[in-house]
Structure formats: structure tokens, C-alpha cells
Chain A
Amino acid sequence: MKIIVIGGGKIGVTILSALIAEGHEITAIDSDPAVINEITNTHDAIGVVGNCVDCDVLSEAGVEAAELLIATTGSDEVNMLCCFIARKLGAKHTIARIRNPEYNDNSLGFLRQQLMLSMAINPEYRAARELYHLLKLPSAANVETFSVRNFEMIELKLKPDSPLDGLSLIQLRQKYPEKFLVCVVQRGEDVFVPGGNFVLKSGDKIAVTSTPTEIHKLLRHLGLMQKQARNVMILGASTTAYYLSKMLLAGGNNVKIIDKDLARCQKFSEELPEAVIIHGDGAQQELLLEEGLRSMDAFVSLTGMDEQNILLSYFASSQQVPKTIAKVNRDEFAAMAEHLGLDSLISPRKTIANITTRYARALENSKDSSMETLYNLMGGKAEALEFIVRHDCEIINIPLKDLQLKPNVLIAGIFRNKRIIIPAGDDVIMEGDKVVLLAAGHRVNLLSDIMK
């Protein structure tokens, strides 16, 4: 599929490299020759230097034949205008990055309709949503939600003294009565879907799916349950921090925000009167301690610098803060942060790459099922996908035990009439169901792709 990605910033490059890995033909546009040069050197893509609102530049990039155009420049207005012009010039679908909170209220729907945008993405808002879910369930390293509200997937890292160490999945089922599925396991570099005889070891990272209530019960049973974070300290008055604070405050939590830029502090205090805003350098440990870091339930570091986020989160966990989360945008840093023992990392870029990848796959293929959600797990080695099943899908009305599934594929949940079925061998997939799948090492476009 021909896709044009506009803007060679962090988000733009993440999106285009994810799309290249999917096998799409990518043309990148940026006004800086050095940026385009770097992109064409490191990625199998072609580049055009110029102003992305200019029709000539868009034509040179082949907008007439483009299936999808994604505008990710730093300016919301440029993105909107560029998508609008591209639509007029013949691009079939457009996605704009719109992150200013002023546009992300009631006017967004109007804008989307008038500009004929297929989707508006807001990396900061998505990141804030993810953070919010994590703070609600602090014992998990990661929480993913699906379009069906009553179903979640959490990632757990088994600590050295974990009660699960040495248990096989069958024993696990016998010992813990809750309904849940261990879907994916990461051990060292390998990621796979475990069978019943698989024995868990400490150090494994596992993904578990179930309903939120069952997950709560399980975590309590395991002695891992931590209470929801009520007192949260946020470092860096970024847009993500703004969205997150709004969500937390709406839930009646206490939020303390630290930033060293006075103007931004003032703006935040204007918009978030209930939050405590501290003007000061968050890199000073003295200040953090003075502001009561030790009594916090959670510490979230959202400054623009990955290094600072990692180090200060590390400091916070050494001060016995129960939950620390760091925003880390660069993959290579994420790996290092995991070595330091920081298991909760959040990356707006990755979130956005997930969304655009899902969108592109759904565009390419909407034959027997349509993809609702796509998550990258375990450093991109596994995927969780959600599909809506259509009538012409070839695997409907067949008992699951008779389906010849590919190895390392698992059907984690079926939703029918607002009810969740944790599937067993006799269950069937029916038209109109929503199905959640886990796949390690395969690319799944369609529901029927999971068949051998």
C-alpha cells in the first residue's frame, strides 16, 4: 500500500518504520533536507524535501495514488491543512496528529468531518489514558484495554520470590480458582504462547487476560494487589501530564505536578485548579523529598528527556515509592531501563505506531473480519488483536478444538451479547462476535490468518 508520512520527527519516524516492517511503500516528506537524508539512509523509504502544504510537493510525493496520508508535524494546524489538501488531491484516507487540548474537545468531531479526516490521533492523550489505567492497577507492568469494556490484558513480571515460580499452567489453574488465561510468556529473548505443561519461572514476563474483577481477585490471591494510586506526583508539565491530571482529578485523586518552567506552571494552575503545582527543578532530589516523594503512591516522570525520566524513576523506586512510571521514547533506552528494574515504561510513540499499523492493516484487508484493536507486546515480538467477525469468515460455527491453528496463536476471549466467553474446546465463533487473539511471531491481518 502506498502511504505518505509527513514530518520526520520522533513520531513520524516511529510510524514509518512500523509501516515499512508491515511491507508498505512509504514516502516521507519533511522540510529539512538533513532529516530526509537520515530517513532514506536508515529506512527503505523515499523522501521528498519541501513544504507539505504545497500542492507541488504533495504531487511529487505521489499523493494522487496514495492510499493513506499521515501528517505528524509539530503543528496541528499544518497537519489539518495538509490532510485537507491531500484529500482534495486524491489521497484516499488521511490521519492527522492533533494534540492541542483546545482542539481535542467538542470541536474535534466537527473538524474531523469538515476536513474529511479518517482519524485524528493524539499521542499525548493516548499516553495519558494508558498511564491512567496503569495507576488504577499498579501491580501490573502494563495494562491494555479492548473495545469491549469488561476485558483487560495485564503484563506481570514474576519477581524472584513469586508464588508462581515453578508452577505449570495446569497446576496454576488448580491452585487458583479465578478464570484467567496466561496468553504469552517472554523468557529472555524468546516470546511464545505457552501450553498446559509449561512451567513458569521467576524472571518471566507474562500476559494475562480476563475481566477486571477476576484480575483483581487473582492479584489479591497472589498477594500482589496494591491499592489504586491515590496520591500521584508527576514530573514535567507536558501535554500528557495535563490529560493525565485531568483524568486523575476527575476520579478524586491528589495530583502534584513539578516543573521548572514558571510560565507552564502558571498555565497549569489556571487550567487545573485542584492540582498542586510546584515550580522547581525536579532533577533535584532534595526538592522531590521535600514535596513528600516518600509518601506518594505513584511517581510518574514525563519530562521531555528519556534519561532524566529513567534516572528519577529509579531514584523514586529506591525511595520506596510503590509505583513508578517513566516515559521513554527511545527503544534502546527502554531496554536499559528494564535492566535497571523499571518495569513500567510508557512510550507515546509506540502507542501511535500501534494505532497507525492497525489502521493500515484494516485498510488493506477488511474481507472476513475487521480489526478493532492492535497492541504490540513484549518489545514487538507478540501482538494482541481484536476482530469483529463478519458473516463470510471461514472459521465461524466450528468448535475451537476442531480448528487447525498455527502454533503460537491463542484465542483469548470471545464476546457475544455483551458477555465474555473465556473459550474452551467446545466453544464456537459466531458472526458478529468480537474475538481477542494473541499471536507471537506471526503477522495476522485477518481472522482466517490464524489457520494453518
Chain B
Amino acid sequence: MNQRMVFNTVGKILLAEAALMLLPTLVSLIYQESCFSAFLLTIAIAAALGVLLMLISRPKDTVIYAKEGFVIVALAWIAASLIGALPFTISGEIPSYIDAIFETVSGFTTTGASILTDIESMSHGLLFWRSFTHWVGGMGVLVFVMALIPSLSERSIHILRAEAPGHNVGKLVPRMKDTAKILYLIYIGMTLAEIVCLLCGGMSLFESVVHTLGTAGTGGFGVKADSIAGYSPYLQWVIAIFMLLFGVNFNLYYLLLIRRFKSVFRSGELWAYIGIALASVLLISIDIWPKYQNFTEVLRLSTFQVSSILTTTGYVTADFNLWPDLSKTVLLLLMIVGGCAGSTAGGMKVSRVVIMLKRIGSEWQRMLHPRSVKTLKFEGKKLENTTVTGVCNYILVYFICLATILVLLSTDPTAFGFETNVSAALACFNNVGPGLAGVGPVENYAAYSDFSKLILSGAMLLGRLEIFPLLIFFSPSTWTKKG
């Protein structure tokens, strides 16, 4: 394995993180807060570590293969999270480093699960940093670096593939650097649009920015204990719509920009995504009708919750823990489905669900007509057998990981109950944030033991990086000559 290239790239990531941290530093400077020095110290540490890594591992050649891609991504995310947690602990606002790691991983992986019991007393700088990690993690730390650095490697597609969500990651334009730039420009454009929409609704600048960063990355960190519930219906609608927009494959926005409207309308994943959202809104609206008895309110609440959970954002406007069982079940299933491939959302991804259903359909057909020949198609193209096998394999591994996380969580000394543990595992693994019962919308993860917090942090990383990079990173054979 090209270890020099791996560590060199991680060094670059740390430098990029140091640069990104200048923004929250600026915020804390504006608000004259004490966390200013914590940020400066962290920047110094990150920059020093980054330069050191780059110096001691100057690559002899830049050739990387799929394996290096996975390892670079896994290591970069772990390193970025460990460094990103420092300001919380140094400033003393989250005294326990494990808690700070949980919070930062939750940020970068766009989960939005929090251990904070009193959000409103946090300083502005740290609140901003928390939400900013959502924004960076949503599109990807390495994609960001690729957009800036001329050429990481001829084969940086392996990094993109390991970091970007979805089963079929490709480039938009020939050059990797340009692809990364286009993705980030679309991302920045949509982010600015949402900030403007929120400002128009009367939200303060700081809160608009923080909530937009949380929406864009489909993260879910806010500044209020009751999340979005306290804001006006207009603001709730804006956030609900933007959450849905950020859950769409960004390639489609590029196609819109270059006026290839037909390809957008032919996207099977987009229609499935819209269909799932509409069906869930309908089901939940009917289910919670007796509770609210007001058409606009029911529609707003169900749309917001569905869009928040489907895109794995995790903002809430109602304590859905108190909703009837059908609604809770639908929301729990939406967590698993997640957003579209190539978006900032988590979960299993709509495209995988669609492919899996198509595969089940064709197998069904084969049982009835053993000699039938059928070609599976998706987005107008033939589905290669390797793709279908890959998707099925992913889903299998997904559930094995889920089961493992659940077993480890159940060993927690405090007995939280089955519902809490299942929903906590699902909410973290799928990067949603709030679960049910003990980790419901108005609760938080503070009560879990340190061990469980680390397990959940791992679950969030597994979910964001789509399992394999992390598994490959921790597999001993990756690091021996044999592998």
C-alpha cells in the first residue's frame, strides 16, 4: 500500500480543517467569546500535525488504488473528528473529550445527535462550528480538498468513490478537480439561497446561518432546545422544503444547470424519492389527524417530520415520540431508506432500495417462469450484474452492522429499553439524530455510558462512509504485506 500517499493526504486534510476553523474563530471574535483562544490553539495543533504529516511522508509516487482510497477516507474522517472535538474540550464547554468526540462525529457525519443538555447556554462560536461540521461533512471533507488542490492523484476517483454516498459514484466532467468544484458551487449556491429565504422570514442572521448549515448537510444541529418548533410556519416550510432539496442527487442539479431537463425527469430514483415522501406524508397525516384536527397544522407537521427523517436531517417541530405507533413506525422505516445517492443525506439510499426491489421482482418472475430472460434497468441503463450483487451485498452488511451495534448497545449498564436502543442505533447508523423514547426528539444521548457513546460514534462514521472504508481500515490484512 502507498502509505506515504495516505498520510500525506491526511496531512492535507488536517491543514484544510485548520483553514476551515478560521470561520468559527471569526464568529467567536465577533461575539467576543472566550472560546476564541480554544479555536486558535486547535488551529495551531491541526496545522502543525498536518505539516508534520506532509513532511515525513512525501510521496514517491502518487499512484493509489481502491484500497488506498478507502484507507485515506477512513483515516481522514477519524483524524478530522478527533481534531474537531478539541475546541469543545479546550474551551471547557464540553468537559469530557469522549462527549466532544461524539458531538463532532455527529457533526461531520451529519447525524445531529447531541449529548448537550443545555444548548442555549453554548457560545456562538462553538454552536457555529458544530453546524459548520455538518456543512463540510455533508458534501465530504476530501471532495472539498480535491476542489482546492490541483491534483491529488490521477486516480483520485477512488477517494471520491469511497467518500461520496451511493452505489454508483461517477464524475460530472472529465477532471476530478472540476467535478469537485461544481459540486461545491451548487452546494454553496443552494446554501446561500436558504439563508436568504430564512432571513426573509425574520430569523436572525446567526440562526439563519446555523440552521442553513444544518439543513444543507442534512445534519440537524440547531440552537434551540425545541429545535425548529418555536419558529413561524413560514420558516418551518422553508426548512422542510430545503431539507428535501438537499436530499436529492446533486448530479441532477448539474444536469438542470446544463439544461438537460429530460435526463432529470427520467431519473427513477428521483421519482421513487418523491413517491416515498408523498406516501409517508399521507399516511402520517391520516394517522395524526385525530390528535391535531387542523388541516394546515397536520400537513405542516407531517411534511416537516417526513422530510426531516427521510433526508436524515433530524430537525423536529413536534415530539413525534407522542404520536401513534403507525407514524412512529413509518418514521423509523424512513430512517433506513434515507435520501438519494449523491446527496448529503444518509441512510441506505433510495437508489439501493429501488434496485433491491427490482431484483426481488425479477427473482419472483424467475420462480414463475424458470426459463425467462429479463434485463434489469435503472435510470434508463442496463443494470450490470456486479452492481446488483454489490447492492445486495451492501444491504446484507448493513443489517449485520446494525445488529452488531444493537448488541453492543444493549451491554450498557443503564437499561434503556429495547425501543430506545433500537432507535438510537438506527438514528446514529443512518445519520438521522433523534430516535424514539429515551433518545426521542426532546431527549438527548447524554445518559449513555462512554463506551456506548464511542460505539454510537463508530456507528455514525460507518453510516456516513457507507461501512466499507471503515471496515477495510480496521481490517488487519489491509496493513500487512499479505493483503
Contact indicator A46/B154 (Cβ below 8 Å): no
Asked if B384 and A45 sit within 8 Å, CB to CB, the answer is: no
Closest to B384 in A: A33
Bound-state Cα–Cα, A44 to B151, Å: 9
A43 to B174, CA, bound (A): 10
Query: A44 to B173, Cβ gap below 8 A?
Result: no
B174 near A42 with CB under 8 A, answer no
B158 at interface by CB-CB < 8 Å: yes
Number of interface residues of A (CB under 8 A): 13
Whether a CB of chain A sits under 8 angstroms from the CB of B178 is yes
With A25-B178, A33-B384 already in contact, the answer to whether A40 and B158 are too (CB < 8 A) is: no
Is A44 within 8 A of B154, CB to CB? Answer: yes
B residues near A45, Cβ cutoff 8 Å: 174
- Which one of B155, B178, B384 contacts A42 once the chains associate, using CB atoms below 8 Å? B155
Q: How far is it, in angstroms, between the C-alpha of A33 and the C-alpha of B384 when the chains are bound?
A: 9
In the complex, which residue of chain B has the Cβ closest to the Cβ of A42?
B155
In residues 199-214 of chain A, which contact B (Cβ within 8 Å)?
A: none
Interface string of B167-202 (1 = CB under 8 A from A): 000111111101000000000000000000000000
CA distance A26 to B176 in the complex (A): 11
Q: List 17 A-B contacts (CB under 8 A).
A: A2-B174, A20-B154, A25-B174, A33-B384, A40-B171, A41-B66, A41-B158, A44-B154, A44-B155, A44-B156, A44-B174, A44-B175, A44-B176, A46-B170, A46-B171, A46-B172, A46-B173
Contacts of B151 in A (CB 8 A): 44
Q: Is A27 an interface residue (CB 8 A)?
A: yes
User: Interface code A13-43, partner B: CB below 8 Å = 1, 0 otherwise?
Assistant: 0000000100001110000010000001111
The closest CB in chain B to the CB of A27 belongs to B174
Tell me which residues across on chain B come within 8 A of A44, comparing CB atoms: 151, 154-157, 174-176
How would you classify the secondary structure of chain B's contact residues: helix, strand, loop or mixed?
A: loop
CA distance A20 to B175 in the complex (A): 9
Q: Are B155 and A41 in contact (CB under 8 A)?
A: yes
| Interchain CA distance A274-B460 in the complex, whole Å | 76
Task: For the complex of A and B, list the 5 residue pairs with the smallest distance between their C-beta atoms, beginning with the closest.
Answer: A25-B174, A46-B174, A46-B171, A45-B174, A26-B174
Query: Which A residues, 39 to 98, have Cβ-Cβ distances below 8 Å to chain B?
Result: 40-46
> With contacts A33-B384, A44-B154 known, what are 14 further pairs, Cβ within 8 A?
A25-B173, A25-B175, A27-B174, A40-B157, A41-B157, A42-B155, A43-B154, A44-B151, A44-B155, A44-B156, A44-B174, A46-B170, A46-B172, A46-B174
For B173, the chain A residues whose CB sits under 8 A away are: 25, 46
Give a binary string over B153-169; 1 marks a CB under 8 Å from any A CB, 0 the rest: 01111100000000000
Closest B residue, CB atoms, query A61:
B174
Per the bound structure, the CA–CA distance linking A2 and B178 in Å amounts to: 13
Minimal beta-carbon separation of A61 from chain B (angstroms): 10
A40 to B169, CA, bound (A): 11
Residues of B within 8 A of A25 (CB): 173-175, 178
Specify which chain B residues have a CB less than 8 angstroms from the CB of A2 in the assembled complex.
174
Minimum CB–CB distance from B390 to chain A (whole Å) comes to: 13
Please report the C-alpha to C-alpha distance between residue A41 and residue B66 in the assembled complex, in whole angstroms.
9
A2 nearest in chain B by CB position = B174
Shortest B398–chain A CB gap in Å is 24
Rounded to whole Å, the gap between the CB of B421 and the closest CB of chain A is 41
- A335 to B: closest C-beta gap in Å: 14
A4 nearest in chain B by CB position? B174
Give the shortest distance, in Å, between B37 (CB) and chain A (any CB). Answer: 42
Which residues from A are CB-within-8-Å of B171? 40, 46
Kindly state the separation between the CA atoms of A45 and B158 in the bound complex, as whole angstroms. Answer: 13
Distance of A40 Cα from B229 Cα, bound (Å): 47
* CB-CB nearest in chain B for A16: B174
C-alpha spacing A20/B178, complex, angstroms: 14
Cα distance A42–B173 when bound, in Å?
16
Closest to B158 in A: A41
Within 8 A of A (CB), among B433-469: none
B70 CB to closest chain A CB (Å) equals 14
Which residue of the partner chain B has the closest CB to A45?
Answer: B174
Which of B171, B174, B175, B384 lies at the interface centre, i.e. has the most chain A CB atoms within 10 A of its CB?
B174
- Which residues from 113 to 155 on chain B have a C-beta closer than 8 Å to any C-beta of chain A? 151, 154-155
Q: How far is the CB of B113 from chain A (nearest CB, A)?
A: 36
Complex contacts, B175 vs chain A, CB 8 Å? 25, 44
Closest to B176 in A: A44
Alpha-carbon gap, A45 to B155, bound state (A): 9
Once bound together, how far apart are the Cα atoms of A45 and B154, in whole Å? Answer: 9
> Contact string, A120-148, partner B, CB cutoff 8 A, digits 1/0?
00000000000000000000000000000
Residues of A within 8 A of B158 (CB): 41
Q: Chain B contacts of A41 at CB under 8 A?
A: 66, 155, 157-158
Query: Measured between C-beta atoms, what is the minimum distance from B389 to chain A in Å?
Result: 15
Chain B residues with CB under 8 A of A26:
174
A282 to B176, CA, bound (A): 46
Give the shortest distance, in Å, between B156 (CB) and chain A (any CB). Answer: 7
Question: What residue of chain B has the Cβ atom nearest to residue A17's Cβ?
Answer: B154
Contact status B154-A42, CB under 8 Å: yes
Which residues from B are CB-within-8-Å of A43? 154-155
CA distance A262 to B175 in the complex (A): 47
Closest Cβ of chain B to A15, distance in Å, is: 14
| Residues of A contacting B66 in the complex (Cβ-Cβ under 8 angstroms) | 41
Contacts of B170 in A (CB 8 A): 40, 46
Q: Determine the residue in chain B with the shortest Cβ distance to A59.
A: B260
**Complex CA–CA separation, A41 to B154 (angstroms):** 9
Roughly how many angstroms separate A226 CA and B333 CA in the complex, as a whole number? Answer: 82
Q: Which residues of B contact A42 (CB under 8 A)?
A: 154-155
Query: How distant is the Cα of A27 from the Cα of B175 in the complex, in angstroms?
Result: 9
User: Which residue of chain A has the shortest Cβ distance to B171 in the bound complex?
Assistant: A46
Cα of A40 to Cα of B66 in the assembled complex, Å: 12
Chain A nearest CB, measured from B211 CB (Å)? 36
Closest chain A residue to B178, Cβ basis: A25
Q: How far is the CA of A273 from the CA of B387 in the complex (A)?
A: 55
Q: Mark B258-300, 1 if CB is under 8 A from A, else 0.
A: 0000000000000000000000000000000000000000000
CA distance A358 to B345 in the complex (A): 46
Q: Tell me, rounded to whole Å, the shortest Cβ–Cβ distance linking B60 to chain A.
A: 12
Q: For residue B151, which residue of chain A has the nearest CB?
A: A44
A191-B178 Cα distance, complex, nearest whole Å: 33
* Interfacial chain B residues near A40, Cβ < 8 Å: 157, 170-171
A23 and chain B: residue at smallest CB distance: B175
Q: Complex formed: what's the CA distance from A155 to B156 in Å?
A: 37
Chain A residues with Cβ under 8 A from B157's Cβ?
A: 40-41, 44
- Shortest C-beta distance, A405 to chain B (Å), equals 26
- A271 to B: closest C-beta gap in Å: 42
Name the distance in Å between A261's Cβ and chain B's nearest Cβ: 36
Q: How far is the CA of A43 from the CA of B170 in the complex (A)?
A: 13
**B171 CB → nearest A CB, Å:** 5
CB-based nearest A residue for B63: A42
Cα–Cα distance between A33 and B157 once the two chains are bound (Å):
17
Measured in the bound complex, the distance between the Cα atoms of B62 and A44 in whole Å is 13
What separation, in Å, do the CA atoms of A45 and B170 have in the docked complex?
A: 10
In the complex, which residue of chain A has the Cβ closest to the Cβ of B381?
Answer: A49
Q: How far is the CB of A345 from chain B (nearest CB, A)?
A: 23
A27–B178 Cα gap in the complex (Å)? 13
| Most chain A beta-carbon neighbours within 10 Å: one of B66, B151, B171, B175 | B175
B384: chain A residues at CB < 8 Å are: 33
How many Å lie between the Cα of A20 and that of B66 in the bound state?
A: 21
A44 CA to B170 CA in the complex, in Å? 11
Q: Which of A27, A41, A43 counts the most B-chain CB atoms under 10 A from its CB?
A: A41
Which residue of the partner chain A has the closest CB to B154? A44
For the complex, give the distance between the alpha carbons of A425 and B167 in Å. 63
Residues of A within 8 A of B176 (CB): 44
Per the bound structure, the CA–CA distance linking A409 and B132 in Å amounts to 49
| Distance between Cα atoms of A40 and B168 in the complex (Å) | 13
Q: What CA separation (Å) do A40 and B171 show in the bound complex?
A: 9
Q: How far is the CB of A28 from chain B (nearest CB, A)?
A: 9
Q: How far is the CB of B173 from chain A (nearest CB, A)?
A: 6
Instruction: With a 10 A CB-CB cut-off, give which of B154, B172, B178 has the most chain A CB atoms.
Output: B154
Which residues of the partner chain A approach B174 to less than 8 Å between Cβ atoms?
2, 25-27, 44-46
Residue of B nearest to A33 (CB): B384
Bound-state Cα–Cα, A133 to B194, Å: 68
